[in-house]
Amino acid sequence: MRRGAAEPDRLYDPGLQPERTELAWRRTALAIAIGSLLSLRVFPLVLPPAAGAWGVVPGILGVATACVLWVAARRRQARTTAVL
């Protein structure tokens, strides 16, 4: 066995890669949520009154997308850790 190599009887290196991946996805979801909340605040002020409720649709869709990404990241990390 060469120096610095992993032990041959270990199947899985319990490194932090799955956790780092989950944190990256959570950061992405958080950025989408913040951008969406900002659009909820700004779009009604910028868009003409004729646009009506359509100004909040992108914000609501963005927040929903962020929630889905947050849950999917958690499930993926739990599944990956369980498999490894």
Q: For residues 17 and 76, is the Cβ–Cβ distance under 8 A?
A: no
Q: pLDDT tens digits for the chain (84 residues)?
A: 455 555 556 665 666 788 888 899 999 999 999 999 999 888 888 888 777 778 788 899 999 999 999 999 989 888 888 887
pTM score, whole prediction: 0.71
Residue 64 confidence (pLDDT)? 96
Q: Where are the domains of the chain?
A: 17-83
pLDDT of res. 84 = 73
Give the Cα separation of 76 and 25 in Å (integer): 10
> 44 vs 5, 50, 55, 56, CA distance in Å?
59, 10, 5, 7
**CA–CA gap between residue 73 and residue 80 (Å, rounded):** 10
